[in-house]
Amino acid sequence: MISPACRLTAFPRWRRLFGAQLSVAALLISGCTGAVGDPREGEGDGVIPGGPTGPEVAERSMFPRLTHAQWENTVRDLLRLDDRPGLSASFTSDPLGGVFDNNEAALLVAPGLWGDYQRAAEELAAMVTADQGKLDRIAPADLPDAPEARAQAFVERFGERAFRRPLTAEERDAYVALFQRGEELFEGEDPFAAGVRAAIEAFLQSPHFVYRVEIGAGPAEGGLIPLGGYEIATKLAYTLWNTMPSDELLEAAKAGELSSREAVRAYAGGMLEDQRAREVVGAFHRQLYDYEQYHDLNKDQALYPEFVPEMGDDMQREAELFVDHVVFDEEGGLTDLLTARTAFVNDHLAAVYGVEGDFSDEFKRVELDEAERSGLLTRLGFLAAKATARQPDSIHRGVFVNLRILCAALPPPPDNATSLPPGELATNRERVEAHTGKGTCGASCHGVLINPAGFAFEHYDAIGKYRTTDNGAPVDSADVYTLGGQPRSYADAVEFSQLLAESSEAHACYAQRWIEFSHGRGVRAEDRALVEELGEASRGGASTKELIVRIVSSTPFLARVPAEAP
């Protein structure tokens, strides 16, 4: 239980801090930490218990909309198609809502997207019902023959999968009525196919399809409304697989098997073994590390003849294979992501890494030189993306580490940026330092946060190749960064990555990002205790998969707070 005095004073500040980035300093505020009790195991009955204190669960929407990727996967699974239909490529895109594409605040149905949904529903319904094979796949095998009973059985069983819960009697009647008008609406078509077509059009445009509706099961208990079994099945499926629940998961919901925290843990563990979970974990790191930036890079061909435009794709592929390997093959976590030397390279990348051997366009597993490379921050994608055509971009490398890896709050640069006259300085580091380091107007941020993190990577040039000299002078990548309240010095990026991997800050940040991603919302003050708890677990060796399992079996995942009165 959080002490009231602390909450009263800390709350508004926390909201602001969390709104931007979780501050490293804020994590260290004492008095508010570690005071929240263990998750309330075993209380209540049926669904996950609420418990006496609500404040650790942040308010969220009851109507988070499917992302376009979720819509694609859901349609594929609902209609039992072999592939994603691809129609969302022409949907209106969503505005940015932070680091990830699933922030509920940005996902709205406006006229443009409503029209997109309508057209897609019509196309899909027409496609599925025009093909007997496709129709057979979505029609339950043992449908009764009598037309009315047949319509009702189809609506009930398809509807349960479309809405991810059984239909109410009212809903069923409305869809059966529409089904029966099918003959008249699609004149000349087979009555059953016409009915299915009308029903599918309406199912795919329903708010119960386009939103993951979370009403909750029953009244609030102790300030929290527990989610129902079907809602938990749905939330698990979208979080771990980015799609609708499987038939098996819906069966589990129906049988009441998702009614304890342990059961949810067990299901989640099993779901993480599926290929679809690999896609989700890949998408998390793709967005966190911003692989998008690895493409369309402009490098000086005279200086870097080995750089070719296709390397954008190669560098992204390398990062994807690495993350997948660490998280799934090795059951690893953040420490491994920051320190492992395993890499997957093709001929383009091997040339830049300086790896000996025969390579083709196929990706091959190699071990990189331990003196030169560590985890993801020493890989080509990050290094080349954070560089100009000729030079490393030390400042952006440093900003990225601060914001994305450490969740540090950086004040934005002032608007009146000024340039200094060119000096007689030999190396990239000297130039950057002269303009931003100690004794300059940028000392406060650049001197202690941005530059030290960025300079750790001075051994990597504008395409990420290892170098020992810069403009004839020996590379200096040593610096000091404060972690855990102590100044930590390091000689280079390998040591810096190791320090990050041992720090509370990086692990808390990684946990925070997973909480944001899993809930599809920005992190809030109420999440703080869980951020710390998971951060420490990660630092202690908990794998990425374990963090995910803990998040989806936590109270904030399994219950919601009642809406604040408007």
Partner 1 sequence: MITRRRVLRGLFGVTVALPFLETFAPRRAAAGTGDVPPFAIFMRQANGVAQQVGDEPEMFWPSATGPLTAESMAADADRAVSELKDYASRLIMVRGVRFAFQGNGCGHSGGGNQCLTAAQVSEDPAGNESLAMGESIDNRIATELNPAGVEPLTLYAGRMAGYINEVLSYRGPKQLRAAERDPYKAYQKLFGLAEVDAAAAEALAARRASVNDLVREQMQALMRRKDLSKGDRERLQLHFDSIRDLEVGLACALPPERVAEMEAISPNVGSYDNVETVTRMQMDIIALAMACGATRAATLQVGDGNDSTEYTIHGVRQKSFHKISHRIDGDGEVGPPIEGAQELHHQIDRIHARMFKHLLDRLSSYDLGSGTLLDRGVAVWLNDLADKYHAYSRVPYILAGGAAGYLKTGQFIDERITVNKLLNTIGAAVGCTNGQGGPLDDFGDESLEGGLVDTIIA
H-state helical runs in 378-417: 380-385, 394-400
Coil, strand, or helix at residue 469?
A: strand
Among 255, 441, 473, 480, binds partner 1 (CB under 8 A): 441
Structure letter (DSSP) for residue 302: T
Spatial distance between the Cα atoms of 559 and 557, rounded to a whole number of angstroms: 6
Coil, strand, or helix at residue 365?
A: strand
| Cβ atoms within 10 Å, residue 537 | 17
Chain mean position to CA 496? 25
Interactions with partner 1, residue window 101-120 (CB under 8 A) = 105-106, 108-116, 118-119
Q: Report the nearest approach of partner 1 to the CB of residue 123 (Å).
A: 5
Coil, strand, or helix at residue 242?
A: coil
Q: Report the nearest approach of partner 1 to the CB of residue 251 (Å).
A: 25
H-state helical runs in 21-110: 24-27, 68-78
Interactions with partner 1, residue window 269-328 (CB under 8 A) = 290, 292-293, 296, 298
Among 202, 266, 351, 448, binds partner 1 (CB under 8 A): 202
Among 62, 153, 355, 448, binds partner 1 (CB under 8 A): 62
Q: Report the nearest approach of partner 1 to the CB of residue 495 (Å).
A: 25
- Region near partner 1 per CB under 8 A, out of 35-43, 315-323, 432-440, 532-540: 432-440
Q: Report the nearest approach of partner 1 to the CB of residue 413 (Å).
A: 4
* 69 sits near partner 1 (criterion: CB under 8 A): no
* 86 sits near partner 1 (criterion: CB under 8 A): no
Q: Report the nearest approach of partner 1 to the CB of residue 442 (Å).
A: 5
Coil, strand, or helix at residue 18?
A: helix
- Region near partner 1 per CB under 8 A, out of 13-21, 234-242, 343-351, 480-488: 13-21
Q: Report the nearest approach of partner 1 to the CB of residue 354 (Å).
A: 28
- Region near partner 1 per CB under 8 A, out of 28-36, 313-321, 417-425, 457-465: 417-425
* 502 sits near partner 1 (criterion: CB under 8 A): no
Interactions with partner 1, residue window 142-201 (CB under 8 A) = 171, 174-175, 178, 181, 184-187, 198, 201
Number of residues that bind partner 1 (CB under 8 A): 86
H-state helical runs in 80-190: 111-129, 132-138, 147-163, 169-185
Contacts with partner 1, 355-394, as mask; x by CB under 8 A: ---------------------------------xx---x-
Spatial distance between the Cα atoms of 62 and 74, rounded to a whole number of angstroms: 19
Query: 373, 387, 363: which is closest to 307 by C-alpha?
Result: 387
Structure-block tokens of residue 415 = 């608007």
Residues 215, 221, 222, 227, Cα dihedral to 10°: -40
Among 275, 419, 468, 486, binds partner 1 (CB under 8 A): 419
Q: Which residues pair with 271 in a beta bridge?
A: none
Spatial distance between the Cα atoms of 108 and 22, rounded to a whole number of angstroms: 26
Residues near 380 by beta carbon (within 8 Å), at least 6 away in sequence: 311, 315, 318, 349, 352, 353, 463, 464
Spatial distance between the Cα atoms of 137 and 81, rounded to a whole number of angstroms: 9
* Minimum CB distance to partner 1 smaller for 20 or for 537: 20
Structure-block tokens of residue 117 = 């949904």
- Region near partner 1 per CB under 8 A, out of 206-214, 276-284, 474-482, 493-501: 206-214
* Minimum CB distance to partner 1 smaller for 97 or for 147: 97
